[in-house]
Amino acid sequence: MFDEREYFYCYSTNLFKYLKMEKKFNYICCGLHEKTFSKFWQFKRTPEIEKALQEYRDRGKEIKADKMA
């Protein structure tokens, strides 16, 4: 049975570049959301992807904090 939590759908170009170019993750496919036509990339959820997503979120918080200082 299909479990959508098994995959991560990335709609952010910046996040995609981080996962693909900096972290070297391969995506399964890319497509367009059927209602919004926003481009997305589909990644298999793994502990490594989850760790990279947390690092990306933490980095964003650091960047925002630096801009406010």
Report pLDDT digits (tens) over 11-60.
999 999 999 999 999 999 999 999 999 999 999 999 999 999 999 999 88
User: Domain limits at 18?
Assistant: 4-68
Number of domains in the chain: 1
Query: Per-residue pLDDT for 2 more than 70?
Result: no
Query: Per-residue pLDDT for 4 more than 80?
Result: no
Cα–Cα distance measured from residue 19 to residue 54, given in angstroms and rounded to the nearest whole number:
12
Beta bridge partner(s), residue 32: 39
What number of CA atoms fall less than 13 Å from residue 12's CA on the CB side? 9
Cβ neighbours of residue 21 under 8 Å, at least 6 residues apart?
A: none
Q: What is the pTM of this model?
A: 0.82
Phi-psi region of 37 (alpha: psi -120 to 50; beta: other; left: phi over 0): left
Cα–Cα distance measured from residue 46 to residue 38, given in angstroms and rounded to the nearest whole number:
24
